Amino acid sequence: QADGMSEVGNSTLTTHVLNTATGLPAAGLVVHLAQLQEPGPQWTELAQRRTDADGRCQPLLAPGQATAGTYKLHFETAEYWQGLGHTSFYPFVEVVFIITDPAQKLHVPLLISPYSYTTYRGS
């Protein structure tokens, strides 16, 4: 029965932010999700979250909310680093990606340090 799994299951978008300078989750980092309106270049904000102590936040798209299209995760990294007493080379990080199959679960992690970042399509 898929009903009990719907929260975790299909068509959700999740992220996880890790501070690679400390090896710890990036807690309290603000994340915005926007979708590109076709024809562009207008972005419509869909969600805003703040990462928890584990560097995670509630799914950015609820089951059934995703549609095919181009999306952007905007991570407020400068505010995060300032909170730790560091300056950051990157004032924010934007990860733009395409959802082709709205029923597929997407996980887009971000690894950050004051002078670098890495992202990948997770599972």
- For residue range 63-94, list pLDDT tens digits in order: 888 999 999 999 999 999 999 999 999 999 99
What domain count does the chain have? 1
3-state secondary structure of 63: coil
The DSSP H or E segment spanning 78 is helix 77-83
pTM to 2 decimals?
0.88
Q: 3-state class of 114 per DSSP? A: coil
Say if 4 falls within a structural domain.
no
Binding residues: 16, 56, 120
Are the C-beta atoms of residues 17 and 26 closer than 8 Å to each other?
A: yes
Token pair 């996880």 is at which residue?
A: 16
1 within some domain: no
pLDDT at res. 4: 39
Binding residues for substrate: 16, 56, 120
Per-residue tokens: 29:
């980092």
Write out the residue range of the structural domain in which residue 106 sits.
12-119
